[in-house]
Every structure is written in C-alpha cells, then in structure tokens.
Amino acid sequence: QKNLSLLSPEQVELAKVLLEKEQSHLFQHWSEPGVDDDEKCAFFDQIAKLNSSYPGGLAAYINTARELLADSKAGKNPYDGFTPSVPSGEVLTYGDDNFVQFEEAGVKEARKAAFVLVAGGLGERLGYNGIKVALPRETTAGTCFLQHYIETILALQEASCSLAEGNCQAEIPLAIMTSDDTHLRTMELLEKNSFFGMKPTQVKLLKQEKVACLDDNEAHLALDPHNKYRIQTKPHGHGDVHSLLYSSGLLKVWHDAGLRWVLFFQDTNGLLFKAIPAALGVSAIKQYHVNSLAVPRKAKEAIGGITKLTHKDGRTMVINVEYNQLDPLLRASGYPDGDVNSETGYSPFPGNINQLIFEIGPYIEELTKTGGAIKEFVNPKYKDATKTAFKSSTRLECMMQDYPKTLPPSARVGFTVMDAWLAYAPVKNNPEDAAKVPKGNPYHSATSGEMAIYRSHSLILRKAGVKIDGPVIQVFNGQEVEVWSRVVWKPKWALTFSEVKSKVSGNCSISQRSTMAIKGRDIALEDLSLDGALITEAVDGAEVKVGGSVQNKGWTIENVDCKDTSIPEEIRIRGFRFNKVEQLEKTYTEPGKYFLKP
Ligand code: UGB
C-alpha cells in the first residue's frame, strides 16, 4: 500500500487492474518505499508495455488465460462438435494454360499488394545462431533469404507496373515483423546492404512484444526467476502480426493508398515466390477474401492440414488444423486410422505452408471489430495427471493462419494447392533431427531447402523445353537428397513460366554435373549445351545471348560434416560445399548487345 502511494495515476490504474485480477503476489515481496525504486519503476514500465501491446490489455489476457487453462485442465477438445472433411480448393498444375492465366492476372495485381514477412521466430528447431533471413537461400549465388525476397518484390513491382496504363509509380511495401530476438540483426542486415535495393521508406519493421508467462491454472503471472521486479515473458506466436498491422496504423495507410492485397509469408521458404503470381491471380479472379497456399502433404508431416470443419449446428469453416491435432481429430471423427496417405501417396488434407493472401477491405473491416486479436491456445506441460501444477510457466500463443476462425460464414475463404517442388522448401530442422525424419517425408533442412531450389529450377527449365539430365542421389548430413543441375537465376530474369519460356530457345541442354547462374535481366539461352559451370552477369540494358557448347571441369560437390566447427555454420548445416574447379564466367557492365559463345 505504501509503495502504491508513490505511483503516478496511470501506474495506480495498472496496479488496480492487477489487484482486481488477483495478482497481488506480484507485490508481496516488495521492499519498503525508497528501496529498489528504480526496479519498481521498471516493473511498471514493463506492465504498461504488456498492457498496451495486447488487444484488450492485461485484464483481457488474464481472463482468456483462465478460460483456456480451465478448458485445457478439463481436457476439452477445441474441435469439439466439429467434423473434419476434405475441403475443395483451386488445384493448379504448373505451366498449363490455367496456371499461366493466373500468373498473368497475379503479376497485374501485384502493384496493388503489400507484403508482410513474419520473422520474429528464433528458429529453435534449426538451431542456427544468426537470424534465419540472413542464411543463404542457396550457396551457388550465395543470396540470402531476405535479399531474395526483396529482389523478387522489386521485380514484381517492375513487371506489374509495365502492365499498367499510364505512368505507374507503384512501390510495393514490405513490412517485416521482428521480435526482441531478431529486430536489431534484421535492421543491421538491411542497413549494411542498402536495403538490398529497396527504398528504405518502402520497408517497415514492426516489433512484436512477448506476453506474460503464467504460473498456474488461476493464471497468476509468473515472476522472472532472476528478477523479482519483472514478469517472465515468452513469445506469443506469429498471430501477433494482425494486431501489429492494425495498431501501427500501417494497414490503414495501405488501404487509404488504394492497395488491395496483403500477402503474408514466412522466413525461410526459398521457393514461395515461384507460387506468388499464380496464387495472387487466384485471389483476384476467385475474389477470395482469404487465400491460403497449400501443397500436397504426406500424412503426419509436421505442417498443418487445411481442413473443412462442419459443426453440429451447421457452421462450416475451412481452416488450418495443426499437425499434432489433425490425427486425433480424425480418429475421433470416424477415421479410425487417423491421418494416413490416400492412394495418391499423400494425405487427403493439403498442407498449409502459411503463405496467406488477404483482401485488404474485408481484412481491415474485421480487424476494426477484433483489434487484430486472434483465437489463442495454451499448451501447459503439467507435472502430473491431476493437472494442478505446471513443470514450467506457460503462456498464451496464437498463429497467423487462425485469422479466419472469427470470420462470418459469408467470408470467401479459399485455398490454392501447388506442387511442393514449386512452392515449398522451408529450412526449419537441424541436421540431426532432419536425419531422423521418416523416409519419404521431407527433411525441411538447410540441405533439402537448397537442393529443392535446384530441382525446381531444373524442372521449370525442362518444362520450358531445355533438356536437363535427371538427378543423382547423394547423402549429406545423413539425408538422402536428389541432386539436380545447380541452376539459379535472379528474380528479374524471370518471375513467371511465360517469362522463362521467352528466354529459352533452340536446342538447349544442361548436364547433371553442371552449374548455371543467371544474374541479369536480358540474358537469353539459345542453343546452349552446358556441361560444366557457367556464370553470366549483366547490367540492365546489356542484352546477352548465351549459346554454343560450354564445357569445363565445373564445380564439384564436397561433403562436409555438420559437427566440423572449422567450417562456417551456414555451410556445415547443409552438409556440402562447392569446390569451384573451373567455370566460364562473364560479366557485362555496359549496355549493348552481346553474344556469349565459347
Ligand atoms: N514467427 C514469428 O514471427 N513470431 C513468433 O512468435 C513465432 C514465429 P515456425 P511453426 O511452414 O511448415 C508454421 O516456428 O509455427 C515466424 C505453421 O503454423 O517456423 O511451427 C517465424 O520467424 C504450420 O501450419 O513454424 O509452423 C517464421 O517465419 C506450417 O505451415 C514463421 O513465423 C509451418 O509453419 C513460422 O514459425 C510450415
């Protein structure tokens, strides 16, 4: 009481909220006034932050926590009353007429889009010490994820503007959600690299705050074990992105500027932009308020399944069900074998890759009602079966893909399925865990993430008429992967299948042991026969035709051990590195017309 008399009116209000919500234990150990006053102020600063960064404030957080903890203790299933079934969505086949039409429509729409990268996660499963967006997407060109994302958005901006009538000045905005774990390093990466060519004003960083930890079923807030004047906090999950976009006012700025779409994406999927133009085209043509990208999913694969849920009362929704919940839900709903592959070799439930496209109008309307609050969940680890005590403190969590859970039935919620080889190659698992993944299921490691890029590029070129050898199978860091020709290109070379086709002509062939990096806009492959390594770089305005027979010793692949700490971490987590024995490398620094022939 004596301590409270020293507080400002705002601090008194906050203290009252805490006392009303039965949190007096937070003050019980406080020393006399005049002792530890700085710490006490810091405590209230923290409380004020926790209060303002949560929709509805700390009181709402504690109320929800009590409800969810009671449900968890009672063993209540969040899907009680719901029956799962396989939903129907848009299933695309890469390169067919339908796909090409959606891609064209998507590129046209892109100038009305804003991109949101959720990059607040530390990637505990990957165990990498840096921020994940700084990892090389592949090690042939060495471009990091963030650079690749930005270069693709800039290429889309340009391609989209070139289709607009009149003088198009569109600058596609990019928001990046960071956290205390990633914020400074993300900012440094951008600043050190001049924002990878984007205007600094185009990029906005939104930092998510952690939420208060909970000690017990009564939702008593947990004190930090190292400081009795602090509340212990933990991450709240990627679902924070919605409240941040709303509370920062950014969404309104985008809406007022006439933008129509918001595209959310995760930190380490090096393929996802291959799927963006077509998926955005689907959103525009089908007028989806919400469109989730999905890929065929192996049963029990550690990604959520897109599921249609029908409630006893008639309500239906198409929503992601996390992988650990899908199997029990199916077993409880008349599928005795749970989540199993169908005769196609895949689960009938498409895999959520958390690439979401929202139409801004309906999105902002919904957030005006909810403030961006997302249905949360709690996952306490109980000490024993009585479920009365926790092994360690817990907290509420939320996921960005749960946004549709509060939408009315009239909302147009759909999804788009594309081949995994085209759209999905996340880097989430460390080498040891990846090596334990059941045979046939994807590894989701740095090794598989890089190899998937070469496979995707090889398959795209094959579809465009290039003769490309099949892969060989190799083992790196205990993972058996297909090794295709190491082909990479800059996003401005080609964003869509039509663009790839327009840059390839005659009889082109690339052998399996080859490496090809295309670093320029106007580089055309004409009657090229490549058996070795070929690196072509050209400034805008330099038109280069590459042809003839290129043959050299090329780049070989060497195994490296993930435990060998003499090798940089970003390399050893892949289990291989390139030995650049011989290559043909040409750089064109002046505009003009050139013919590169050995
Ligand atoms: N992230 C944040 O920005 N803040 C946070 O507090 C937490 C994460 P994970 P997860 O792609 O296969 C998701 O940890 O959550 C960012 C889907 O839920 O990599 O286990 C983080 O930086 C799942 O349905 O993934 O699983 C990263 O960019 C499936 O789609 C992103 O959020 C799965 O991803 C995802 O965080 C998948």
Secondary structure (H, E, C), 309-352:
EEECCCCEEEEEECHHHHHHHHHCCCCCCCCCCCCCCCEEEEEE
Residue type, 108: K
Report the C-alpha gap between 376 and 356 in whole angstroms.
Answer: 18
- Residue that the structure tokens 């320029």 belong to: 520
Whether ipTM tops 0.95, in short, is: yes
* Residue 577 alpha carbon to ligand 1 centre in Å: 28
What span, in angstroms and rounded, lies between the C-alpha atoms of 179 and 163? 37
The Cα 114–Cα 264 span in angstroms is: 9
pLDDT-derived band at 2, boundaries 50, 70, 90: low
DSSP-derived letter for residue 269 is B
Outline where DSSP puts E strands in 179-304. Answer: 203-207, 211-212, 223-224, 227-231, 233-234, 261-266, 290-297
Q: Which pLDDT does position 101 carry in this prediction?
A: 98
Compute the distance between CA of residue 25 and CA of residue 4 in angstroms, rounded to an integer: 14
Q: How far is it, in rounded angstroms, from Cα 176 to Cα 128?
A: 20
* Reported confidence tier of residue 4, pLDDT bands at 50, 70, 90: low
SS3 assignment for 143-177: CEHHHHHHHHHHHHHHHHHHCCCCCCCCCCCEEEE
Residue nearest to atom 20 of ligand 1 (CA): 303
User: What does the alpha-carbon distance between residue 525 and residue 506 come to, in Å, rounded to a whole number?
Assistant: 8
Q: Are 295 and 418 in contact (CB under 8 A)?
A: yes
**Amino acid 33: pLDDT:** 82
Which atom of ligand 1 sits closest to the CA of residue 268?
Answer: 28
User: Which tens digit of pLDDT belongs to each residue from 354-391?
Assistant: 999 999 999 999 999 999 999 999 999 999 999 999 99
Q: In this structure, which amino acid lies at residue 563?
A: K
Mean pLDDT for the chain?
A: 95
**266 Cα: distance to centroid of ligand 1 (angstroms):** 7
CA–CA–CA angle 161, 162, 163 (5° rounding) = 90
What's the rounded mean pLDDT across residues 140-160? 98
Residue type, 369: K
* Cross-strand bridge partners of residue 119: none
Q: If you average pLDDT over residues 98-117, what whole number do you get?
A: 98
Using the mean position of ligand 1's atoms as its centre, give its distance from the Cα of residue 428 in Å.
9
Q: How confident is the model at residue 8 (pLDDT cuts 50, 70, 90)?
A: confident
Distance 238 CA to ligand 1 centre (A): 6
pLDDT at 134: 97
Q: Are 148 and 491 in contact (CB under 8 A)?
A: yes
Lowest-confidence pick of 255-264, 337-346, 564-573: 337-346
* Whole-prediction pTM: 0.95
The pLDDT tens digits of the residues spanning 194-252 come to: 999 999 999 999 999 999 999 999 999 999 999 999 999 999 999 999 999 999 999 99
Backbone dihedral region for residue 36 (phi beyond 0: left; psi -120 to 50: alpha; all else: beta): left
Distance (Å, whole) CA 314 – CA 301: 30
Would the pLDDT of 154 be above 60? yes
| Residue 245 near residue 372, CB atoms below 8 Å | yes
Atom number of ligand 1 nearest to Cα 302: 12
The pLDDT of residue 489 is: 98
pLDDT at 1 over 70: no
Phi/psi at 366 (5° precision):
-65, -45
Contact, 350 vs 296, CB < 8 A?
yes
Q: How far are the Cα atoms of 115, 173, 423 from residue 150, in angstroms, in the given order?
A: 10, 10, 17
Centre of ligand 1 to C-alpha 49, Å, is 24
Which tens digits make up the pLDDT trace of 424-433?
999 999 999 9
Question: How far away, in angstroms, is 40 Cα from ligand 1 center?
Answer: 35
Report residues whose beta carbon is within 6 angstroms of any ligand 1 atom: 118-121, 177, 179, 208, 235, 237-238, 266-267, 303-304, 320, 322, 352-354, 399, 426, 428
Please tell me the least confidently modeled range out of 86-90, 117-121, 259-263, 587-591. 86-90
Strand partners, 472: 483
- Of 238, 268, 395, the residue with max ligand 1 atoms within 8 A of its CB, to mutate for a pocket test, comes to 238
Instruction: At 525, list the tokens.
Output: 């492959």
Overall average pLDDT of the 14-40 stretch: 92
